[in-house]
């Protein structure tokens, strides 16, 4: 922190749209991302007097292997991508948007259009988001299982 304060630097914290919207099957992940969002908010207030900018980056679906990694950190290449391709942002575009947000010292950058729309709906009409999740059976991905696991 001393170096950040001395240089009036930028601190980037990686969150997720799941830090705004929790879906069934995502409680551990969503809980951690809600906590990350709170950390970014608190540090933003704490570091502002020193001229340090804190940017929370909250991506939606970005092209990565994360949706095929189990809770023990193992890549499960045999699993198919559970998210429709039209919802997935290429990593190079996401990286450009993140760099732009950090350069502009933004407080938060929600990456992907669907992510921004979801966060906006959650902020303005949380009751509508809850209704949609329940009505349409929105769920997080099922946990990737190891061979031989049952349940």
Q: What is the pLDDT of residues 71-129, one digit of tens each?
A: 788 888 888 877 888 889 999 999 999 999 999 999 999 999 999 999 999 999 999 99
What crossing angle do the helices spanning 113-124 and 126-135 adopt, rounded to 10°? 120
Query: What is the pTM for the complete model shown?
Result: 0.82
What is the spatial distance between Cα 18 and Cα 27, in angstroms, rounded to a whole number?
9
Q: Is 29 a catalytic residue?
A: yes
Percent of the chain with pLDDT over 90: 64
**How many domains does the chain divide into?**
1
Give the count of beta carbons closer than 10 Å to the beta carbon of residue 115: 23
Give the list of residues 6+ apart from residue 77 with CB closer than 8 angstroms, or none.
68
Report the CATH number that the domain containing residue 39 is assigned in CATH.
3.40.50.720
Is 23 inside a domain boundary?
yes
Which tokens sit at 47?
């570091």
Confidence at residue 144, expressed as pLDDT on a 0 to 100 scale? 43
Would 76 be classed as within a structural domain? no
- The verdict on residue 143 lying in a domain is no
Domain that holds residue 18: 2-64+86-135
- Bridge partners (DSSP) of residue 69 are 75
Structure tokens at 28: 């551990």
Angle at 25 between CA 21 and CA 26, to 5 degrees: 45
Picking from 89, 144, 109, 99, the residue whose alpha carbon sits closest to that of residue 15 is 109
Active-site residue, from 17, 18, 21, 29: 29
Reported as type and span, the H/E element at residue 5 is helix 2-7
pLDDT at 150: 44
């Amino acid at each position: 922190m001393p170096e950040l304060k001395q240089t009036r630097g930028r601190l980037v914290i990686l969150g997720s749209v799941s830090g705004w919207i929790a879906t069934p099957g995502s409680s551990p992940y969503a809980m951690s991302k809600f906590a990350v969002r709170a950390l970014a908010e608190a540090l933003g207030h704490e570091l502002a007097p020193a001229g340090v900018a804190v940017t929370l980056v909250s991506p939606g679906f970005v092209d990565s292997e994360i949706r095929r990694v189990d809770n023990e950190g193992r890549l499960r290449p045999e699993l198919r991508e559970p998210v429709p391709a039209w919802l997935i942002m290429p990593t190079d575009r996401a990286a450009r948007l993140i760099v732009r947000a950090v350069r502009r010292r933004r407080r938060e950058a929600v990456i992907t259009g669907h992510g921004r729309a979801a966060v906006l709906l959650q902020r303005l009409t949380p009751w509508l988001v809850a209704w949609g999740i329940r009505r349409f059976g929105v769920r997080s991905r099922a946990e990737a299982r190891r061979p031989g696991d049952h349940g």
